[in-house]
A = this chain, B = another copy of it.
Amino acid sequence: MPRINPERVLSDLRTLATFGAYKTGVHRPTLSDQDVAAREWFAGRMREAGLDAEIDGVANILGRSRATGRKALSGSHLESQNHAGWLDGALGCVYALEAARAIAEDPATADLGVDVAVFCDEEGHFGSFMGSRSFVGVLDESEIDTAVARATGMTMREALTRAGWNGRPRHLIDPSRYDAFFEAHIEQGDTLEHSGRKIGVVTAIVAIWQYRITVLGEQNHAGTTSMTRRRDAGREMIQLLASIDARFQSVAGERSVWTTGRIDLDPGEKSIIPGQAQALFQLRDADPAVLARMEDALREEVAKADDAGRCDISVERLSASTPAIMDARLQDALDAAAEMNAPGMHIRMPSGAGHDAQWLARKLPAAMLFVPSIGGISHHWTENTSDEDIVLGSQVFADAIVEALRRN
């Protein structure tokens, strides 16, 4: 089996962390100067590895192997969340590159090929999975035309033009070329750390169902409007959210999560009864039946609150994705590679976060490997994984790809 080069893996990751370095993490928004430089550098590293690497019209990088045998596709993303960690995305890109290198360097596996892909904007600075959706053929040019960076207001067209990539043809997946897609990622939670394991084998990427709850009351003076007369949108929103949370204790699945990310009371002044309240509410689970049960409960609680209170209450579903089930045979390959390198130290688990792999799974058998996040920290500059765990993960990842291609 191929041996990965630990120094090369860590060195590549540390070099990537210099592009937009922020404290011990990185600030590398999609198509920022730092992100553009990181992409150019990484494309260069692909070419040094013998891959034919090209950056396309949506800033995706595809590095094609010249190997003649069976091939896998592997990769992740290079941009970061704002002021976030050095490994989120970058780890999956470097693991893919290292697998390509190690497999090519070992005469016993040199016939196998790994194409390395870097998908643009997985972190959603401009849109939703622009890069991986482009690659699987579900992104129209018009969506790129209208995409604007939330933080800076710059259009994606302008950012692509600045980078010199606007107007280039976009890479499109050739499913006949690949047996499998593999993506590695930090876990972004503490399941591995908590269970003392080193490798997570992802069973499914959960679906996310998102809602906006709106309560319409009557804005009024907080001193002169009696409790019986007021139609307090904030008060009814609080009562509703508390009742939804209580109800979910019984209807949710074991691994379901639900989050109220935002509450806006209008006008938000201390002496004014809110005339309107809005909340963003989100459910995640890998089982559509569980999600449907939770949505039913959510709608029932909203209807009850609307009947019982003095405000008009409604809920609108903003989006509902489907869970992406990881390929069973590729999960077995990851288990086998993990068992070989770290016996008993692997565990199967769903991914609570979205990943490029959920889009690739529409076209190819797909799999994901997780390495531990220290303290379960994610989307923060203190995110980290020990060097030892990084190196172990890289070896398991390369071995799993070989296992999958050989077994096929």
Contact = CB atoms under 8 A, between A and B. Distances in A.
A241 B245 CA distance: 13
B282 A189 contact: no
B232 A238 contact: no
Contacts of A255: 226
A245 B235 contact: yes
Nearest to A319: B270
B261 A376 contact: no
Nearest to A246: B239
B262 A270 contact: yes
Contacts of A269: 261-262
B190 A222 contact: no
A239 B208 CA distance: 24
A242 B232 contact: no
A24 to B, nearest CB: 17
Contact of A238 (B222, B225, B260, B352): B260
A282 B262 contact: no
A164 interface: no
A408 interface: no
A55 to B, nearest CB: 28
A163 interface: no
A189 B222 CA distance: 10
B257 A261 contact: no
Interface stretch (A99-107, A272-280, A339-347): A272-280
A227 to B, nearest CB: 6
A265 B262 contact: yes
A76 to B, nearest CB: 16
Given A242-B238, A265-B262, A208 B223 contact: yes
A242 to B, nearest CB: 4
Contacts of A282: 222, 270-271
A66 to B, nearest CB: 37
A319 to B, nearest CB: 10
B376 A225 contact: yes
Given A238-B238, A282-B271, A379-B272, A261 B222 contact: yes
A206 interface: yes
A166 interface: no
Contacts of A189: 221, 224-226, 229
B259 A224 contact: no
Contacts of A271: 208, 259, 261, 282
B239 A227 contact: no
Contacts of A221: 188-189, 352-353, 378-379
A224 B349 CA distance: 11
Contact of A352 (B224, B235, B263, B352): B224
A376 B220 CA distance: 9
Given A188-B221, A270-B282, 19 more contacts: A189-B224, A190-B225, A206-B223, A220-B377, A221-B352, A221-B353, A223-B352, A224-B376, A224-B378, A226-B257, A227-B252, A234-B261, A235-B245, A238-B242, A238-B245, A259-B271, A261-B273, A262-B270, A263-B263
Closest 6 A-B residue pairs measured CB to CB? A223-B352, A189-B224, A242-B242, A188-B224, A222-B259, A224-B352
9 contacts: A189-B226, A220-B377, A221-B352, A222-B259, A223-B351, A259-B271, A262-B269, A270-B280, A271-B282
